[in-house]
Amino acid sequence: MRYHVPPVYKSVRYRTASVCVLVLIYLAVVFLLPRPETVKPEGWRLLGIFVATVAGLILQPVAGGALVMISITLAAVSGALSIQQALAGFGDPIVWLVMAAFFISHALIKTGLARRIALLFVRTIGQTSLGVTYALSATDLVLASIIPSNGARSGGVVLPIARSIAELYGSHPGPTAKLFGQYLMCALYQSICVTCAMFLTGQASNPLAAQIATTVFHYPITWTSWLLAGLVPGLCSMAAIPYVIYRMYPPEIKRTPEAASFAAGELVRMGPMDRGQKIMLTIFVSVCGLWVTTPLHGVDITVTALLGSCSLLVTGVLTWEDVVTDRAAWDIFIWYGGLVRMGRALNEAGVTTAFAKGVGVTFENAGWVTLFVIALAVFFYAHYGLASITAHILAMYVPFCTVLIARGAPIGLVLFSFACFVNFSSGLTNYGTTPSPMFFSTGYVPFKQWWVAGFVISLVNIGIWSTIGFWWWKIIGIW
């Protein structure tokens, strides 16, 4: 995930004010909040740095990678961590899994295979406006199985095709938006928020949640277990969302045979699959196949992803220049590795345990079911104030899960609920995750309608995942 930095964030005045706020946050945590006796002073200083870092990811005085690099440096300077401890996150396998997946996604887009997949879906089921939406949503679903950047797959592959089809029918931002574009952009964006929740690789922060579940709560979450958890409720949401938006904002153009013809024509122009696409398809299928069958052969998913990346380099589908110039991948390497390490260090320092005990005393008369419902609602709608799923996970995932698990809530239910729900909470606003401003800035959907649709679909998703989803999770033994 690349952080979207509006131009105003580049002003010296804004950066200075933001830095002052972050310093005050650090000082308030370290000197004003009472430190539990079980937490050492260096652990409390690390908490101050961590909270200020999360706030910085929201305010964004500098890029996310730069901010995290500053934070881990300050952690070493302040004595909260040794320099070896501060840098240990960059050797974490989950960080390299995300890196390797980014390289594979680069090859998918570079070879044109991702675009070919989208056009094949549109050609097959794109004869109606509803069918076009399902086709492009299905494209994002397939790509989410291996591309952890929702911005790359949704903004780089799906959105350009969606806009081309809307314009094919004379639907442009403004008076003609209601012909087709308004419905298509709104329904498609809400659908891709769900695909983020369906795979471990659906969004860049999902592996972070899985890593926290494994290291902090000792509950391993694998690519396969996440796939099983997200499959049934995810497909139900994917089926419901385009139809609900269709009823809310019905397009004036209902039948779209030209869309299927457009896709067919584009496929003809692309020609048959070339060597690069064939190799990419083979590696794509092989990597996903090995991830699914991990329980059988025991090969770590990070090793599988790295093998896929190495295969692309050996065959020449990717060049070393492609790898070293992939800014998104290296940016995520810096901030991801730093955040993974700080999160783990906080748990080792006993901060999360102390928090759980404090909240548990406050709500000692409430059962876990009541707390679970309240916490999940607060956690979900808190995204109105956040522009990053990663920041949301960092700020609230561990504390909320710690409290609920300490009160007797089923660990699998808690960890999967918060990890999945945070993804489609990004559909609430026009700034909820990286593709949000990409879709909203097309100008097809007015601000009010975007937010209304976001709230309505949030109720649809919560209803599906908390009924069908929880029932499915019970069947497969998650809780």
* Residue 87 located in a structural domain: no
* Residue 284 located in a structural domain: yes
* Residue 332 located in a structural domain: no
**DSSP label at residue 35:** P
Residue that is last in its domain, among 28, 48, 81: 81
Matching residue, tokens 């497909």 = 235
Taking residue 161's Cβ as centre, other Cβ atoms within 10 Å add up to: 22
Q: Looking at the structure, tell me whether residues 205 and 135 fall in a common domain.
A: yes
pLDDT in tens, 348-370: 888 767 776 666 666 666 788 98
Q: Report CA torsion sign: 426, 432, 433, 439.
A: positive
Instruction: Note the pTM of the prediction, 2 decimals.
Output: 0.81
Taking residue 273's Cβ as centre, other Cβ atoms within 10 Å add up to: 15
pLDDT in tens, 291-326: 888 888 888 888 998 999 999 999 999 999 999 998
**Distance (Å, whole) CA 199 – CA 40:** 38
| Cα 314 from chain centre | 30
Q: Looking at the structure, tell me whether residues 173 and 311 fall in a common domain.
A: yes
Question: What band does 9 get if pLDDT is binned at 50, 70 and 90?
Answer: very low
**Distance (Å, whole) CA 347 – CA 398:** 9
User: Distance between terminal CA atoms of the chain?
Assistant: 31
Residue 246 above 90 pLDDT? yes
Q: Looking at the structure, tell me whether residues 71 and 168 fall in a common domain.
A: no
Q: Looking at the structure, tell me whether residues 166 and 309 fall in a common domain.
A: yes
Residue 336, pLDDT score: 78
* Residue 109 located in a structural domain: yes
Residue 347 above 80 pLDDT? no
pLDDT in tens, 325-337: 988 788 878 887 8
pLDDT in tens, 124-157: 988 999 999 999 999 999 998 888 878 778 877 8
**Distance (Å, whole) CA 459 – CA 42:** 42
Closest CA to 347 of 299, 411, 302, 402: 402
Q: Looking at the structure, tell me whether residues 306 and 256 fall in a common domain.
A: yes
Q: Looking at the structure, tell me whether residues 44 and 147 fall in a common domain.
A: no
Q: Looking at the structure, tell me whether residues 183 and 290 fall in a common domain.
A: yes
Which one-letter amino acid corresponds to residue 213?
A
Q: Looking at the structure, tell me whether residues 133 and 272 fall in a common domain.
A: yes
Q: Looking at the structure, tell me whether residues 144 and 232 fall in a common domain.
A: yes
* Residue 434 located in a structural domain: no
The encoded tokens of residue 224 equal 């396969």
Closest CA to 203 of 397, 424, 55: 424
Residue that is last in its domain, among 81, 113, 128: 81
The encoded tokens of residue 435 equal 């593709």
* Residue 476 located in a structural domain: no
Question: Percent of the chain, pLDDT > 70?
Answer: 95
Q: Looking at the structure, tell me whether residues 300 and 208 fall in a common domain.
A: yes
* Residue 406 located in a structural domain: no
Q: Looking at the structure, tell me whether residues 106 and 65 fall in a common domain.
A: no
**Distance (Å, whole) CA 286 – CA 294:** 12
pLDDT in tens, 257-275: 988 898 999 999 999 999 9
- Which neighbouring-strand residues pair with 128? 255
Question: What band does 4 get if pLDDT is binned at 50, 70 and 90?
Answer: very low
Q: Which long-range contacts (CB under 8 A, 24 or more apart) does 5-8 make?
A: 5/60, 5/63
* Residue 419 located in a structural domain: no
Phi-psi group of 60: left, alpha or beta (phi > 0 → left; psi -120 to 50 → alpha; rest → beta)? left
Q: Report CA torsion sign: 304, 310, 314, 315.
A: positive
Taking a C-beta distance cutoff of 8 angstroms, is the pair 320, 111 a contact?
Answer: no
Taking a C-beta distance cutoff of 8 angstroms, is the pair 334, 69 a contact?
Answer: yes
Residue that is last in its domain, among 297, 327, 357: 327
* C-alpha separations of 248 from 175, 178, 187, 314, 449 in Å: 18, 12, 10, 50, 9
**DSSP label at residue 36:** P
| Cα 401 from chain centre | 19
**Distance (Å, whole) CA 447 – CA 444:** 10
What residue numbers bound the domain in which 52 lies? 1-81
Q: Looking at the structure, tell me whether residues 199 and 224 fall in a common domain.
A: yes
| Burial tier of 11 (Cβ tally within 10 Å: 0-12, 13-18, 19+) | exposed
CB neighbours of 114 closer than 8 A, spacing ≥ 6? 108, 139, 143, 147, 153, 156, 157
Matching residue, tokens 């005393």 = 361
Number of domains in the chain: 2
Taking a C-beta distance cutoff of 8 angstroms, is the pair 328, 98 a contact?
Answer: no
pLDDT in tens, 446-468: 989 999 999 999 999 999 999 99
Helices (H), 145-274: 150, 159-168, 181-198, 206-215, 223-248, 257-270
